[in-house]
Amino acid sequence: MNIRDGVGSVGGAWFPENVRIKLDNGSQALFWMDRWLDEVPLQVWFPHLFDLSENKWLTVAQMFDLGWDEGGEAWKWRRRLWAWEEELLVECRLILLTVVLQVSGNDVWMWLRDPSVGYAVRGAYRILTSGTLISHDAPLVSADLLWRKNIPLKVSVFAWRLFRNRLPTKANLFCRGVIHNEA
């Protein structure tokens, strides 16, 4: 049993799910593989692009320096992209528009369960043995707004899952260990 992957423990992959990198200059986070932008690494959101990329192991800072705008050097591919792959790339670049890197300061790894103290074996042990690995919920919508007589139940359920990021999207299934990589 590999505890790092959380096999056999409550809540699936408890370690990677509770670690985030807080980006400053982007020199510590791997662009494709680390969870620096979202709960899901970019390689999961854009598996095709990742597959084709020649720059799989570059950090965020390196990719940024090469240039990830349209036609930037960061995008080096094994072969020419098809039109639909170009569209994926447009979507990927749209996401990257929200990124602002700092010049000074280093990236910091964070333990989400205890951001002030950081990771400690004692704390992690307590979480694992308490048996309740509840995820940090997003601010929620009050029940009377969500559950209403005049909208179909399936729509309410859908919205409930959407707000809690519980929809069975590929990225979510990956996060929860239902599928592995490119299924």
Chain residues that interact with other proteins, rule: CB under 8 A: 22-26, 36-40, 45, 87, 90-91, 94-95, 98-102, 105, 107-108, 138-141, 145, 148-151, 155-156, 158-159, 162-163, 165, 167, 169, 171
Question: String of b and e for 33-56 (b: at least 16 CB within 10 Å)?
Answer: ebbbbeebbbbbbbbebbebbebe
What are φ and ψ of residue 73, in 5° steps? -70, -20
* Closest separation in Å from C-beta 2 to other proteins: 27
Identify which of residues 66 and 101 has a Cβ nearer to other proteins in the complex.
Answer: 101
Position 37, amino acid: L
CB of 91 to other proteins, least distance (A): 6
| Minimum distance, C-beta of residue 61 to other proteins, in the bound complex (Å) | 11
- Residue 21 main-chain phi, psi, to 5 deg: -100, 135
Integer Rg of the chain from CA = 19
Instruction: Indicate the residue among 2 and 104 with the shorter CB distance to other proteins.
Output: 104
